[in-house]
Amino acid sequence: MFEKFKVRVHSVPIDVDGEQITIHLRELPFEVVARNYENDNQADVMLKFVVASLCNENGEPIFANEEEGLKEVSSWRFDVMNKIAAKVVEINRLEPVPLNTTNPD
């Protein structure tokens, strides 16, 4: 019965320089959202949510830990991060939107 309550993996296409790239995002578990609930730094929260969401097709994290992930994604282009963040918001139905993102489509 509780199997439907578990986080799922989504294969999500994003456009990067005119090329469709498929990434895999896990839904955020309650613990990750709750841990960051009172953080007023919205950019920091969104980075942490992106790091927690990025995974391989089997749902395994692509980073060894949060610190490694934050260091990596912090160096990515804003437009790419904005598109990924928008997908994380959409998949998890996060309200209000953690970043004031523009429509990436």
Question: What is the number of domains present in the chain?
Answer: 1
Q: What is the CATH number of the domain that holds 55?
A: 3.30.2220.20
Q: Is the pLDDT of residue 26 over 70?
A: yes
Q: What is the pLDDT of residue 96?
A: 59
pLDDT digits (tens, 9 = 90+) for 85-100: 999 999 998 875 555 4
Q: What is the per-residue pLDDT for 69?
A: 97
The reply to whether 105 falls in a domain is no
Domain assignment present for 41: yes
The pLDDT value recorded for residue 43 is 84
Question: Which residues span the domain enclosing 6?
Answer: 2-92
| Position 102 in a domain | no
Q: Residue with structure tokens 């598109």?
A: 83
Residue 101 lies in a domain: no
- pLDDT averaged over the chain? 89
